[in-house]
Amino acid sequence: MRQFPFSRSRRNRKAQWSRNMVAEHCISPSDLVLPIFIKEGHNEMEPISSMSGAFRVSIDNLVKTAKEARSLNIPAIAVFPCITKELKDEKGSESLNKDNLVCRAIKELKDKVPELGVIADIALDPYTTHGHDGVLDKKGNILNDETVEILCEQALTLSKAGCDIVAPSDMMDGRIGAIREVLEDEGFSDTQILAYSAKYASSFYGPFRDAVGSRSLLGSKDKKTYQMDFSNSNEALTEVELDISEGADIVMIKPGLPYLDIIRRIKDNFNIPVFAYQVSGEYAMIKTAAAAGLIDEEKAFLETLVCFKRAGASGVFTYAAIEVAKGL
């Protein structure tokens, strides 16, 4: 390589058009998935105090947001339910009710905005009185195989409602294979599985747990016996390898920004689409810092989202999807 002054890295950086021309990565609305919280009622749009700019919306308003997302070229939406306490129990039974909030939302979305992909979480935490993703034994241990059986039923229930992509976020062992088998057997071979393969036990999920109403139920307990230890990276490769062999179509790394190294390692080691989740705590940090005048919100979202792409993500879940898509 010839040296300075023949080589000047700054030449390509001299103007915006030139920087655009040589840019290695960019973000477009088609890379974004909008996660959204839903609740019962009509014309409801309840602010979530720990996530400024995010709301719990009733199904009618969900459809409005979905249409907006579609018109902005956002390919898919992920729905998360906030149900009343009376519907919660130890086993998360409401998750299997074919007329539950999520099933009705999916039907309405597929009816009114059919070109928009609909993603639904597979996990019990919005439905349990203890806030865990699975069922417990008498000592409070999360039972793996018993939980997987319920998750399979949940995946089938959501698929019957018309869900395009089921997204197991529970981190039980063997659930991807079990769900895939049930879906194949029941005629849902086209339902995609987006596996939350490397999901870490993270403090960045706090605002999400407020949003679905599981934080106070979980109390001081954590999810460390099923979600991954943030000290580990090789283990993420094992989890992804297992999920691919069990029939996952897309794998998710979560949280996002502190785990870019994991995204890169997965991308380099496997030929499967990798998604990242800019989780509630990350979203809240940007929003809060921007509200305090410390950073520019729009620029910060844009930068972090391009960073996900640079790390190797094909798509990113972000609560800021609509705002970002509007700015692009």
133 binds ligand PBG (CB under 6 A): yes
* CA distance from start to end of the chain: 37
- Mark the segment that binds ligand PBG (CB under 6 A) among 7-15, 53-61, 91-99, 205-213: 205-213
125 binds ligand PBG (CB under 6 A): yes
279 binds ligand PBG (CB under 6 A): yes
94 binds ligand PBG (CB under 6 A): no
Rounded CA separation 68/41 (Å):
20
Shortest Cβ 14–ligand PBG spacing (Å): 39
Rounded CA separation 309/264 (Å):
10
123 binds ligand PBG (CB under 6 A): yes
Token digits of residue 124: 């019990």
Beta-strand ranges (E) seen in the chain are: 32-38, 45-47, 55-57, 76-81, 117-122, 135-136, 142-143, 165-168, 192-199, 250-254, 274-278, 315-318
Q: Which residue's beta carbon is nearest to the bound ligand PBG?
A: 208
205 binds ligand PBG (CB under 6 A): yes
Shortest Cβ 294–ligand PBG spacing (Å): 22
94 versus 125: smaller Cβ distance to ligand PBG = 125
Rounded CA separation 82/38 (Å):
6
Contact residue for ligand PBG among 209, 265, 287, 309 (CB under 6 A):
209
Strand partners, 47: 55
* Cβ-based neighbours of 141, under 8 Å, separated by 6 or more: 225
191 binds ligand PBG (CB under 6 A): no
121 binds ligand PBG (CB under 6 A): yes
259 binds ligand PBG (CB under 6 A): no
3-state secondary structure (DSSP) of residue 39: coil
- Mark the segment that binds ligand PBG (CB under 6 A) among 4-12, 38-46, 119-127, 235-243: 119-127
How many residues interact with ligand PBG (rule CB under 6 A)? 12
210 binds ligand PBG (CB under 6 A): no
Active site residue 254: yes
Strand partners, 233: none
Cis peptide before 255 (omega within 30 of 0): yes
Bridge pairing between strands 32-38 and 76-81: parallel
Active site residue 199: yes
128 binds ligand PBG (CB under 6 A): no
Shortest Cβ 114–ligand PBG spacing (Å): 25
**SS3 letters across 107-158:** HHHHHHCCCCEEEEEECCCCCECCCCCCEECCCCCEEHHHHHHHHHHHHHHH
Catalytic one of 39, 91, 199, 287: 199
280 binds ligand PBG (CB under 6 A): yes
159 versus 169: smaller Cβ distance to ligand PBG = 169
Rounded CA separation 290/278 (Å):
16
Residues, the chain, total?
A: 328
Catalytic one of 88, 223, 254, 267: 254
- Mark the segment that binds ligand PBG (CB under 6 A) among 60-68, 96-104, 203-211, 291-299: 203-211
Contact residue for ligand PBG among 50, 95, 169, 197 (CB under 6 A):
169
Catalytic residues: 199, 254
Q: Which residues bind ligand PBG (CB under 6 A)?
A: 121, 123, 125, 133, 169-170, 205, 208-209, 223, 279-280
